[in-house]
Structure 1
Amino acid sequence: MGTFPGVPLLRLVGSLSLLISPTVLGGKILVFPVDGSHWVNMNLLIQNLHARGHEITVVRTSTSWYIKESSPHYSSITVTLPEARSIEKEDHFVNFLAKMLEVQKGMSLMGLANFYWESLGMLSEIHEQASQVVVRIFENEAIMRRLHDTKFDMALIDPGVPVGVLVAHKLKLPMVFNVKWITSGEGHFVVAPSPPSYVPTSGNVASDRMTFWQRLQNTLLYGMNTAIDKFIVCSHYDKLADRYFGSDVNFYHLLQGADIWLMRVDFVFEFPRPTMPNIVYIGGFQCKPPEPLSSEMEEFVESSGDHGVILMALGTLVKGLPLEITSEIAAAFAQLPQKVIWRHAGERPNNVGNNTLLVKWMPQNDLLGHPKVRAFVSHGGTNSIYEAIYHGVPFVGMPLQFDQFENVLRLETRGAAKMVEAVKITRQNFLETLQEVLHSPSYKDNMKRLSALHRDRPIDPLDAAIHWIEFVIRHKGASHLRTESYKLPWYVYHSVDVLCFFLVVFLILTAAVVGSIRFLCLRLCRRGKPKQE
């Protein structure tokens, strides 16, 4: 797909607006990232902040996969945990995927219960281990001295693993969240009103137009997510808040008290919902016009002729897709006239056709922006979704785990994607799905429409993110945009006390009226009785 003609101008206007806006010289920013695909987003912000003259310090663990200790864009503080656990290994997620696929195939009730019990245990262990990072920081005099002596201006945090929230409170730093996911699921559920009547809760594969039974399921799932967050996730951080700050400090209030939420969301893709004034929407901020391909890759793409190219990539953590599934996919690809570029890191599938190029890495954004790309087969990760929207490439979704099912559903409801279930894939149904997306003009047209909407913004989302980070540095926070409603007791937030007051007043008035009528009736009855001789 060609570059949208307004994008260079849009980026130029955004860049000029940053140049003429008030700047911050040499701001000091403390960054708490999350590893994996989340790091891709955070690293982009770090590089742009460094280019603007800010001094960046990244807190990482010694077992980080992608977050390197040395970088030209930041200095680092490396925290070493007392022991390396299986959760820190990438293979853990491969094993988790295998279990997820077993669930999708169908399990006994007991097997399903065991899987969810193990998942809750894994979730608790992840956050228990993350809480130990806080302990190692607070108990290390050298690290604490460095943190205090640097005199940071703010903390930039990915709150999916909210270690930085406690450290920022200790250092009394304003916080900016680079966020989509938080401890209890999607970030909006922590900071903005989220009526379960039309806002699908995290983990519920539903649209914003729900039937009664879907709304019932949505409400139950919302309650379950809240309970899991309170008793399994936040309990680890509550102990730390009590240990280091006293019983009057509530961890969840610290989490809700961020000055700015840089939300990786665009309502071109997400369903409309209530929001708050301190939420800045930067969905797709990592997307950019394509750069030229390498000569070998360009030659392969151009060799496709008029048929074009199909891309396939299933994310950074997926290596364990079973051979029987990948072989059926390969067999379907082999029957197509299009060329296929498939990012594949696992065992080589059977049935790979001459038209299919297997690579361990590919320049996904640059390929999606190439005019010969006809479709994108993806797991439905957020980064891949937004890159497909940005470049207007029709989508075949193969969700595997986490929020990927919800993401693909959102594209499906907009007519820009078609979903295929990994555990039910055969070469025939996968081939039919590909042919429908390739040959039905509606998928391409709908994705082009989403792309035009997504790009039509007054300021580039990356520039908006940088502006609000610097805004927080300049003004030492943004408390004027932050509601204090999260500090209210639940019965005050939901006006239960007011409703109870009205109910009591109503009952008193009703009792008074009934009592008065009864009294008058008795008096009238007594007056109407004849006197006895």
Structure 2
Amino acid sequence: MERYCNNLLQDTALLHRLKDANYDLLIVESLDPCSRILADYLDIPFVPLMSTGLGHLDGNPRPPSYVPSAISPYTSRMTFLQRMGNLVMKVLYDTIPIVMGLDAPFEILKQTYGLNTSMSISDTYNRASIKLVNSDFAIDYPTPIEPDTVMVGGFAVRTPAPLPSELEEFMQSSGQHGVIVVSFGTLVKNFNLDWTRVFVESLSRLPQKVLWRYYGDHDAVMNMTADVSNIRLMRWLPQSDLLAHPKTKLFITHCGLNGMFETTHHGVPVVAIPLTGDQHNHASKLVEHLQMGIKLDIFDLDASKLYDAAETVLSRPTYKTNARVASSRLRDHPLSATDRVSFWVDYVIRHGGAPHLKSTAHMLTWYQYLSLDVIFCVVCFFSLALTIVLIASYKMAVFFMNKKKT
């Protein structure tokens, strides 16, 4: 990414074209530090689109006592030990990028090209007019947010399109039992063969047909499924369109952010098998918060556990009912997520920014933010006052005792 950013800043012709175009607004991906450097160069209002959902970058208060860290598997109701663990994970999540100096190469680039050197990369982020966050309280735990944070959760969920004829035929052939969709996203390039055997053994016992997006050793898994009639492997699936299909009864997923929104939007219950990072947090939201499925540990998975989980979710109407309730809440907005994005982008352009929505919290140091300096002064004042009273009382007691003796 650093090389890409350096190449961008060296492309003076492109930068001049961007500058001369006099754009009203720059929309950037929040995780890309180079986009913030570009915002400094163009010196126009910019809006980060936070595809990762609520997190430490958005500048909102996130009390670890009841707001789970982005990498935490906990819910908003935590025991003492869970709150302790959540605090540790929050500190690590917030400080590791600083300790590892992940922004340092980009700070050097800012110095090299003389771009707003008085402001760090993180400070540039605080200059954002508003923040569009891929989150929605229909799924997320309640948490305080600043006025400059706009929730646009599910903006990537598109209107369902008809399935290709071959897939539609497969869906209809499932009869009353329906179809199970299995997908572990685009990042899982080589699915562990031991896990694959577990999936084949368990899913082949179910009466439902199975559409499995498998991106691993295709030959090996084809051999495993040679005698299995209900499992179909595909390298790519129109996931959202399939989840919208009335024949889809269950989604077995790693709980990526888009998958979480798609399955909630379409009201499909889940068997959640998170693999890493924020997927554990997403799985807890779907399973423990919304109660629309069962969560399994991939490292403690066997065929019987997967079969039992899938059969339980499919046979108990509660999970489907809860999924429908979550879907109804997610859809119940006066404007769709994409319309909210359009409105707020236009709002920032119309007003040349939105500084009136921005809290001054980012201007405070951590001890000022927590009022520790005020608390320290108050404690010192009362301690001093108490000390004076105690000393005065002691001296008066000694005085009267001496007077009695005389």
Q: TM-score by structure 1 length?
A: 0.71
**1:516 matched residue in structure 2:** 392
Please provide the CA RMSD for this pair. 2.0
What are the residue-to-residue correspondences of 1:217-232 with 2, within 5 Å? 217-232=85-100
Q: How many angstroms apart in 2 are the aligned matches of 1:305 and 1:498? A: 68
Residue 206 of structure 2 corresponds to residue 206 of structure 1: no
What are the residue-to-residue correspondences of 1:379-398 with 2, within 5 Å? 379-398=254-273
Residue 192 of structure 2 corresponds to residue 192 of structure 1: no
Q: How many angstroms apart in 2 are the aligned matches of 1:241 and 1:499? A: 38
> 1:237-289: CA deviations, max 9, x gaps?
33344553476322222122311111101112111111110111111122244
Q: Structure 1: which amino acid aligns with 2:215? A: A
Pair 247,161 (structure 1): closer, same or farther in 2 beyond 3 Å: closer
What are the residue-to-residue correspondences of 1:240-251 with 2, within 5 Å? 240-243=109-112, 244-245=114-115, 248-251=118-121
Report the CA distance between 1:443 and its aligned residue. Answer: 1.0
Q: How many angstroms apart in 2 are the aligned matches of 1:313 and 1:167? A: 36
1:171 to 42, 67, 71: 42
Q: Structure 2: which amino acid aligns with 1:291? A: A
Q: Structure 1: which amino acid aligns with 2:395? A: F
Residue 368 of structure 2 corresponds to residue 368 of structure 1: no
Structure 2 runs not aligned, ≥5 long:
none
Count of paired positions:
398
Q: Structure 1: which amino acid aligns with 2:380? A: V
**2:224 matched residue in structure 1:** 351
Asked if the contact 1:380/1:397 (under 8 Å) is kept, the reply is yes
Q: Structure 1: which amino acid aligns with 2:253? A: S
Q: How many angstroms apart in 2 are the aligned matches of 1:437 and 1:471? A: 44
SS of alignment partner, residue 438 of structure 1: helix
**1:122 matched residue in structure 2:** none
Report the CA distance between 1:507 and its aligned residue. Answer: 2.5
**2:103 matched residue in structure 1:** 234
Asked if the contact 1:260/1:280 (under 8 Å) is kept, the reply is yes
Q: How many angstroms apart in 1 are the aligned matches of 2:262 and 2:314? A: 18
Residue 27 of structure 2 corresponds to residue 159 of structure 1: no
**2:6 matched residue in structure 1:** 135
Residue 207 of structure 2 corresponds to residue 337 of structure 1: yes
Report the CA distance between 1:142 and its aligned residue. Answer: 1.6
Q: How many angstroms apart in 2 are the aligned matches of 1:529 and 1:404? A: 79
Report the CA distance between 1:160 and its aligned residue. Answer: 1.4
Asked if the contact 2:36/2:125 (under 8 Å) is kept, the reply is yes
Asked if the contact 1:301/1:308 (under 8 Å) is kept, the reply is yes
SS of alignment partner, residue 181 of structure 1: coil
Pair 418,188 (structure 1): closer, same or farther in 2 beyond 3 Å: same
Q: TM-score by structure 2 length?
A: 0.92
Q: Structure 2: which amino acid aligns with 1:351? A: M
Q: Structure 2: which amino acid aligns with 1:141? A: T
**2:335 matched residue in structure 1:** 459
Give the percent of matched residue pairs that are identical in Structure 1 and Structure 2: 32
Q: How many angstroms apart in 2 are the aligned matches of 1:470 and 1:293? A: 34
Q: How many angstroms apart in 2 are the aligned matches of 1:300 and 1:423? A: 32
Q: How many angstroms apart in 2 are the aligned matches of 1:494 and 1:426? A: 47
Report the CA distance between 1:388 and its aligned residue. Answer: 0.7
Asked if the contact 2:131/2:150 (under 8 Å) is kept, the reply is yes
Q: How many angstroms apart in 1 are the aligned matches of 2:405 and 2:199? A: 96
Report the CA distance between 1:202 and its aligned residue. Answer: 2.4
Q: How many angstroms apart in 2 are the aligned matches of 1:401 and 1:282? A: 24
